[in-house]
């Protein structure tokens, strides 16, 4: 069974507005890292929000087509239920942290799962070690720098242990050490059978991807092996995706 | 005397133990492109806010053209230095994209015609024309970043300080931005870029500063 | 002391503020205020800085003083202008009461800050309040400083683009703020929505119950402290209610005439106020502020 199935997805934020996603169809199998590539404003974040059910449950708009995660229809379940399947790290580092300390932030999701305190403690400990947050364990998330905030948000989502991960330009504000760390973690998670969607601009960050989806103005214009697309410099240059 | 002089500047956030910047001496000219790098949390944003007088050093002094920043008001500083926040949301405060860009220009006392012309030119350059009348906070992250940068570039300050300007920008827009910066630098103005984007700064920067353990280290290899 | 359970702290704050509201004359309030400061210092709270912030309220207090004097009947007239009482002993007392009350309320509220807001969520949840509500309260409290910080940054951005907020005329200022009100309101609403999204995207409210990494437990000290504060408060309340019928130290009216403890305190503890406020009115003062 495919972990993510998107079929003929169309979306507008306002019924009278511009079509943001146009007939998007793709599948992602278990244990696959899929990168989404495209100019800014082409609808990458919007696609991510559709997978997590934020669209249509919170943002409304006009959505047609099908989005399934682990076989369940996104439209028919609330965001909290979907969170058990899909972990979403948002693009804006500022507005996704709301607890007094980094530790509380990471504990929040497992607490919602009604896990016993020992298990919660273990997950918090693991995340803090894995992401190297021990120095800022008791820090106030609001006072961290942008890259640190994204690291904490990632930890908070990973603590849910969802089968599917969507990371929206999470590496953009990180230094090269943190970027490398994230890439290692993602490669490792793939071994555990997680399906990962990453949205990034830097081709360098895409080196871990198995597959790349290229969006142009809301339409999926190419879906292929990562190695093949990265090697196709002519195509990338034409799509203005090379620096 | 440089454009901005930091003299023995130390900084620590109120109520915090850790001193973020120790005794920094640094001169910045309104020429060329200076890149500031450093790991997450090394104090780059803090440094940039000190340059603008948004934060005041705990000890030491920041001078703009020889005049202490503490004796100047923010509008006076803003006329010489343009600043783009790391989080563009915080500096977007108008109801439409067009207004956002014209706001600063109107305060410079330009005639409505001139303002209109400049707004149009910059919207075109940064490919924001199709959003001219939309509400800025409903834009995508990359579009907001471009808007924030464009609104400050339009003012043509002597020195531009950009905090992670390439985050959220695609390669094509990075090129647009970089090329614009080159034009600015060619017209004898200065740019300071805080960035993790090695490709970008390697292409455009002429001077390299790295923050490490609260100290500045100069040089490409630093 | 900082290790105390947040629930105990809530009890302390409730006791102190109940007393502050119930007590109605300057001396007991002053005693209570000193007691509050002692409590704060056992919590190692630096209250001096906060007290300085209170300086800004002094003009307001002066206005209160006059208003109370003009409208509150009774008491000794200390200063009169064309037959209107500008300063009376009752007014003076009432103003002092307000000052002490505010000081007590504010400083006892500082106890709140010695626990993290997450602990208050736990406290509320363990007091059997639904966790959704507990989190709502916490998020609201946490959101406020973040939001103020953002407004500060936005105002900086506005000034850097050429508006001198300190110097523009009042008319323009009003225009300016109304101009930015709509985008600001929008941004607050978007933030609130994003917050709700973030919480739900981390499985908030997926089950009716939820567990916690830490659980609050009362220690022996908590029991002692709580018992002490509750008992003292109840005793004082009892005493005050008795006092209503047979006026004594906690008397509600005519403090200076009836309370035996007062002359000492007004002369000892308030000498500064004394010479400042009464110098100018030799006539009324000659008859004496304090009548035995
Ligand atoms: N809340 C919103 N309301 C209306 N339009 C929006 C909203 N969010 C994004 N858009 C528009 O949708 C398009 C796609 O945005 P997004 O998916 O965020 O792009 P990106 O590929 O950069 O992540 C953009 O052109 C943007 O202007
Ligand atoms: N408002 C604040 N209050 C307290 N500490 C802060 C605040 N902002 C940043 N810090 C701390 O200062 C350090 C430097 O932050 P910053 O200058 O944002 O780093 P960066 O180099 O990533 O831009 C960080 O460790 C952060 O925790
Ligand atoms: Mg995006
Ligand atoms: Mg920064």
The residue ranges of every structural domain in chain A are 1-84+204-243
Inter-chain touch C162–B89, beta carbons under 8 Å: no
Mutate to test the pocket of ligand 2, among A102, A134, A145, A150 (most ligand atoms within 8 A of CB): A145
Q: Provide the pLDDT for residue C107.
A: 86
State CA C140 to chain mean position distance. 19
For position C258, what pLDDT does the model report? 34
- Does residue A45 line the site of ligand 1, with CB under 6 A? yes
Q: Do B169 and A144 touch (CB under 8 A)?
A: no
Answer for the pair C8, C225: CB distance below 8 angstroms, yes or no.
yes
Domain A1-84+204-243 fold is: Rossmann fold (3.40.50)
Residues of chain C whose pLDDT is less than 70? 1-2, 72-74, 243-292
> Which pLDDT value is given to residue C247?
46
Q: What average pLDDT is seen over chain A?
A: 94
Model confidence, pTM: 0.87
Contacts of C among chains (3+ CB pairs under 8 A)? A, B
Judged against a pLDDT cut of 90, whether residue A152 lies above it is answered with yes
Which range is least confidently modeled, A107-121, B155-169, C208-222, C261-275? C261-275
**Which pLDDT score is estimated for C73?**
65
Nearest residue of chain C to residue A138 (CA atoms): C116
Q: Which chains touch A (3 or more CB pairs under 8 A)?
A: B, C
The residue among C44, C105, C114, C254 whose CA lies nearest residue C262 is C254
Which pLDDT belongs to residue B220? 66
Pocket of ligand 2 (CB under 6 A): A 143-145, 147; B 13, 16, 20, 38, 40-46
Residue nearest to atom 16 of ligand 1 (CA): A43
Which residue has a Cα nearest atom 25 of ligand 2?
Answer: B41
pLDDT at position B221: 53
Closest Cα in chain B, distance from residue C233 (Å)? 34
- The pLDDT of residue C114 is 83
Q: Which value, to the nearest 10 degrees, does the dihedral of the CA atoms of residues C50, C56, C60, C66 take?
A: 100
How many other β-carbons are positioned within 10 Å of the β-carbon of residue A219? Answer: 15
* pLDDT confidence bin for A243, thresholds 50/70/90: confident
Residues with CB under 5 A from ligand 4 (ion): A 145; B 45, 86
In the predicted model, is pLDDT for residue B117 greater than 50? yes
C-alpha–C-alpha distance, residues B181 and B193, integer Å: 10
Q: Do C162 and B104 touch (CB under 8 A)?
A: yes
Q: Residue A11: its pLDDT value, please? A: 97
ipTM of the complex: 0.94
A161 vs C81, residue with greater confidence: A161
**Residue A41 distance to chain B (closest CA, Å):** 6
pLDDT in tens, B78-109: 999 999 999 999 899 999 999 999 999 999 98
Answer yes or no: is pLDDT of B143 > 90: yes
Residue ranges of C 114-153 with Cβ closer than 8 A to chain B: 150, 153
């Amino acid at each position: 069974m495919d972990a993510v199935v998107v079929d003929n997805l169309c979306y507008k934020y306002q019924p009278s507005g511009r079509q943001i996603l146009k007939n998007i169809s793709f599948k992602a199998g278990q244990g696959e890292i899929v990168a989404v590539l495209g100019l800014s404003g082409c609808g990458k974040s919007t696609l991510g929000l559709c997978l997590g059910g934020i669209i249509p449950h919170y943002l409304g708009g006009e959505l047609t087509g099908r989005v399934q995660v682990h076989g369940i229809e996104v439209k028919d379940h609330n965001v909290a239920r979907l969170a058990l399947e899909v972990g979403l790290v948002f693009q804006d580092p500022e507005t996704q942290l709301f607890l007094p300390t980094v530790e509380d932030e990471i504990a929040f999701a497992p607490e919602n799962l009604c896990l016993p305190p020992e298990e919660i403690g273990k997950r918090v400990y693991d995340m803090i070690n894995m992401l190297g947050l021990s120095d800022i364990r008791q820090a106030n998330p609001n006072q961290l720098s942008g890259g640190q905030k994204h690291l904490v948000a990632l930890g908070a989502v990973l603590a849910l242990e969802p089968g599917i991960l969507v990371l929206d330009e999470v590496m953009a504000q990180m230094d090269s050490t943190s970027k490398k760390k994230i890439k290692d973690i993602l490669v490792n998670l793939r071994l555990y059978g997680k399906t990962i969607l990453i949205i990034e601009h830097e081709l360098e960050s895409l080196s871990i991807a198995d597959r790349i989806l290229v969006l142009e103005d809301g339409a999926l214009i190419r879906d292929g092996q990562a190695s093949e697309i990265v090697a196709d410099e002519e195509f990338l240059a034409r799509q203005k995706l090379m620096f | 005397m440089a454009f901005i002089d930091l003299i023995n500047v130390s900084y620590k956030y109120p109520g915090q133990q850790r001193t973020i910047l120790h005794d920094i001496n640094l001169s910045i000219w309104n020429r060329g492109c200076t890149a500031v790098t450093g790991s997450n949390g090394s104090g780059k944003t803090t440094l940039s806010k000190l340059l603008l007088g948004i934060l005041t050093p705990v000890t030491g002094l920041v001078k703009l053209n020889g005049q202490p920043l503490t004796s100047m008001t923010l509008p006076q500083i803003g006329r010489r230095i343009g600043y783009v926040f790391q989080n563009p949301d915080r500096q977007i405060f108008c109801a439409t994209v067009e207004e956002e860009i014209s706001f600063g220009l109107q305060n410079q006392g330009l005639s409505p015609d001139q303002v209109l012309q400049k707004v149009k030119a910059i919207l075109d350059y940064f490919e924001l024309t199709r959003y001219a009348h939309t509400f800025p906070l409903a834009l995508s992250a990359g579009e907001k970043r471009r808007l924030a940068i464009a609104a400050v570039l339009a003012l043509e300050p002597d020195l531009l300080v950009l905090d992670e300007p390439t985050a959220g920008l695609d390669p094509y827009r990075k090129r647009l931005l970089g090329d614009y910066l080159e034009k600015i630098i060619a017209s004898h103005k200065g740019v300071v870029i805080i960035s993790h984007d090695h490709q970008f700064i390697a292409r455009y920067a002429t001077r390299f500063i790295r923050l490490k353990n609260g100290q500045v280290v100069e040089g490409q290899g630093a | 002391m900082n290790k105390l359970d947040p629930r105990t702290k809530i009890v302390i704050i409730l006791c102190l503020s109940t007393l502050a509201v119930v007590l109605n004359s300057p001396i007991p309030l002053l005693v209570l205020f000193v007691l509050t400061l002692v409590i704060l210092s056992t919590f190692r709270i630096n209250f001096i800085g906060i007290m300085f912030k209170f300086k800004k309220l002094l003009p307001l207090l002066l206005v209160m003083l006059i208003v109370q004097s003009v409208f509150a009947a009774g008491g000794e007239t200390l200063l009169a202008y064309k037959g209107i009482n500008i300063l009376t002993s009752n007014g003076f007392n009432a103003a002092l009461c307000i000052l002490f009350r505010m000081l007590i309320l504010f400083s006892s509220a500082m106890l709140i800050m010695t626990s993290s807001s997450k602990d208050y969520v736990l406290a509320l949840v363990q007091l059997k309040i639904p966790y959704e509500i507990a989190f709502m309260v916490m998020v609201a409290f946490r959101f406020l400083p973040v939001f103020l910080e953002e407004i500060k940054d936005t105002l900086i951005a506005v000034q850097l683009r050429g508006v001198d907020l300190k110097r523009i005329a009042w008319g323009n200022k009003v225009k300016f703020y109304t101009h930015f009100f709509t985008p600001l309101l929008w941004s607050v609403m978007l933030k609130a929505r994003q917050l709700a999204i973030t919480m739900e995207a981390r499985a908030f409210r997926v089950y009716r119950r939820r567990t916690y990494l830490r659980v609050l437990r009362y220690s022996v000290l908590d029991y002692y402290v709580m018992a002490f504060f509750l008992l003292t408060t109840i005793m004082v309340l009892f005493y005050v209610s008795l006092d209503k019928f047979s006026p004594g130290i906690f008397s509600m009216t005519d403090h200076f005439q009836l309370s035996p403890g007062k002359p000492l305190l007004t002369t000892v503890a308030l000498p500064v106020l004394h010479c400042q406020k009464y110098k100018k009115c030799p006539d009324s003062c000659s008859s004496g502020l304090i009548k035995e």
